[in-house]
Amino acid sequence: MNLSSKEGTGLILIFILLTTMTTLVLAFMSINSILLKSSGNSTIQLKSFWLAEAGFQQASFKINNEAQYRLNPTTITGILGEGSYSVAATKNGNIYSLSSTGSTPSFQKPLQMSVTYLSGYPEAFNYGIRSGGKINLNKSTTTITGDIASNKKILNQKKATVLGTAKEKASIKDITASLSSYKSIADQKITGNMTFKSGQTYNKIWYIEGDVQIQGGTTITGTIIASGSITINKNANNVTIAPSANYPALIAKSTIQTTGMTNSKINGLVFTEDQIKFKNIKDSQISGSLIANKDISISGKNISVSYDSKLKTSPSPYFSGDVSGHSVISQKNWKELDR
């Protein structure tokens, strides 16, 4: 082989080597670019994930600490750094279904979770009848299913049947209802006295800045809160009061009273900071609890008072006083959704 042939062969080998090296360098750069891009995408996705988790934590905090949000959960949003979160919530009893989406400029991550809230509750909520003063059953033929408690004495219970314990001198602390909080969520706000009329149906939450009269034949599928007294009219027949969810039936700053009420039903909590006076009532049922910070007096025939344990598991909101138990929030059914 002459010199020129050898030189040609050498140049070809050098060209092949350079081409191979160039290809390897370009392949390495391409792979490195893909890895960097994949790493960047993973970082962005991870940021979106933790933003969604931050949304869960914010919603859980509000459920645990804000009564208004517990009653009516709304969508909450927040911004963290270059990202954000949005949490939608639906409520079924004390279970909240949360959908949280974490967002960065180029990626969104949706997550779902359910939260169960168990609240602490005033000790008075343990009783079918609780009085800060005396309980006088006036020899009435009353059947009480549940415990009753008086901070003083229980009088004239000879004809009554108490399917539970009866405590005298119970030393249970009085409770209060935040009327201003109920006013803030009321669907109807009335200034002055109000009469709920016979033959009419009233629903939702009513806040009355004054006294309330309830006529016979009235149906209330909601809650009545009065800054004054509540009176179910004399000889009222066929009164029905049934609030929605865990709201109370009746709340009054002053006396809650009726004389001669017949064939009537009250479901839910009946509470006053003053007295409850149910006189000469007949053939009527109360399912929930009667709670007064002063005396409770019941007389009549065929009266049923049945304690509802939902007062403990799903207590009415906006009450304060001696609280037994504490708020507990548990999370479950966490799952990751596709974009």
Give 180-218 pLDDT, tens digit per residue.
989 999 999 999 999 999 999 999 999 999 999 999 999
- Higher pLDDT: 274 or 96? It is 274
- Higher pLDDT: 332 or 255? It is 255
Question: What integer pLDDT is reported at residue 17 of this predicted model?
Answer: 64
Q: Are 140 and 300 a contacting pair, CB within 8 Å?
A: yes
Rounded mean pLDDT of 70-74? Answer: 86
Give 228-247 pLDDT, tens digit per residue.
999 999 999 999 999 988 89
The residue type of 36 is L
Report the percent of the chain where pLDDT is more than 70.
Answer: 82
What does CATH list as the number for 3-118+328-336?
Answer: 3.30.1300.30
Q: How far is CA 255 from CA 121, 212, 229, 270, 296, in A?
A: 23, 11, 5, 11, 10
The residue type of 292 is A
Residues in the chain: 339
SS3 323: strand
Smallest CA-to-CA distance from 279 within 133, 130, 132, 140 is with 140
**For the CA atoms of the chain, what is the radius of gyration?**
34
Domain ranges of the chain: 3-118+328-336, 123-308
| Global pTM exceeds 0.95 | no
Q: How many CB atoms lie within 10 A of CB 66?
A: 11
Give 105-159 pLDDT, tens digit per residue.
888 889 998 888 776 788 999 999 999 999 999 989 999 999 999 999 999 988 9
